[in-house]
Structure 1
Amino acid sequence: MQNITIDFKTKTKTINRLLEKPNITKIKKRTLLDKLTFSKKEYAQVFFHTGNIKKEDALKIKHAKKIIVNSKKQKQNLLKRFQLENNKIEVVYPSIDVEYKKPKDVKKEFCEEFDIDIKNRIILFTAQNFKNSGSKEFVDIISSLNYKYFKAVVAGEKSEVQGLKFQMSKLNLDEKMIFLNDYKDMDKLFLAADIFVLPTHTKAFAKNVLKAMYCKCAVFVPSNCSSSEVVDVFATMMMPSDGSTAFKIDALLGRKEDLKFIKKQNRDVAKEFTIEKNLEKIETILQSV
């Protein structure tokens, strides 16, 4: 086996698993002695790039034999900025790490916990930064729904949730809303939900979209977000404030078979992005280094 050095900006579970292999090591950082003696800086053969490009990232990108990014949008940005060969950059979408359980059983448990009629559909919104992730647009969508039998679950840090709750206090949506502060079992929420809506303003790949798909949810995400690359046209919002989204959700809420089909389809797509599947893809890429 060929020995390969890698570097990365974020140490994920997938990278941890990769580093368990005897022929793969992280490139060593330069020591103070290296700098003082002006020894030549070494760069990794494979660089896992995410996020914004810093000065040191540009050098790593330039010297790497292969660059692995988590979206086609990010690949196009690097190709354009650095004038690289197309085959130097590979796309591997983020890995999913969820203990899958039957959504029907989890939903029953969730409904009992919060005294919800199990006939209700559950629409989920959760994010780290509510404003940037489209909390206002989510509220607008919920306010526009005509279907009666649903509950909208908003989960996140206490300060974020309470802030949104206060903003919604005059909208008369209390009976439709469930606000969860610092909820411990987020996987449970995704497994219990029927629809996940993320009208985000950010371009970065939102892993929660893949997570929701893996947990058998219908999803809606704007085309500006890199996560839109893994969903179909129906699930793609033209913009965070896309007025047709409420209409689409209403249609799904009222058509059990259509919702069931989309949920199954999403899970089938997302199963290709487990840690094991992604490791296989990365190992194939490394063979070409």
Structure 2
Amino acid sequence: MSQIQPGLLWVVATPIGHRDDFSARAIETLRKVAVIAAEDTRHSRPLLMHYNIGTPLVALHEHNEREVVDAIVRRLLGGESVALISDAGTPLISDPGFRLVRAARAAGIRCVPVPGACAAIAALSVAGLPSDRFVFEGFLPPKAAARRSRLQELAGDARTLIFYESSHRVAESLADMRDVFGEAREGVLARELTKLFETVIGEPLGELATRVANDPDQQRGECVILVAGRGEEADAREAEGRRVFAILREELPPAKAAKLAAAITGAPRKLLYEG
């Protein structure tokens, strides 16, 4: 009796907004597999219906991934091919799917990427920041103290930093980035990419944080924040900030001296005050 050949696990990117960004290969793949594992079947169904994709759906999200993975791997080992999609963009990039891909590979199942849209890469391509070296940080911690702590760990990184952020925390996160990285560090907010109200705003973090805080429209939709890495000019700015702070500290309270030194030199106020 011939041995059953395992199916393939197709990891398929879907549009992040504009439906025309759905590739022909992705559409054909989703039509031919036995089942599609979707992050939210209610979210994915309208897109699939638009392209006449009638393949059955099964939910695979962060709350059920551990339980569903075994069942999907069994189907793959039984010879069925399965496609994995997320709500938008490339699966696994701040989305579920890691456990499924890992389990499938461990079982000897071939995993095939069908590349396409990814909000982080789309934002980087139009941000005007150095793109030869970058780091994707995904979502920052929602709690303010943990968020600032993580930003402090990244403050010395020379690579371009890429973050996802929810609309109701984008203003707070930009304010924290301004305080930790300094007002002069270059930042970019890429919002609603490929959608009707797409905006890409690049300004020093001090100006960008103020603009977003004062404009509710820039606090809506899907947000990607990019921040320039630390450069040699930052070291010079901080050295000058420390020098000015030391002079002002002779005549002023520490908090006021740090605030003035930061305004004069562009060095991070928090670094001067705590340093």
TM-score (norm 2): 0.33
Q: Please say which structure displays the higher CA radius of gyration.
A: 2
- The two structures have a TM-score, normalised by structure 1, of 0.32
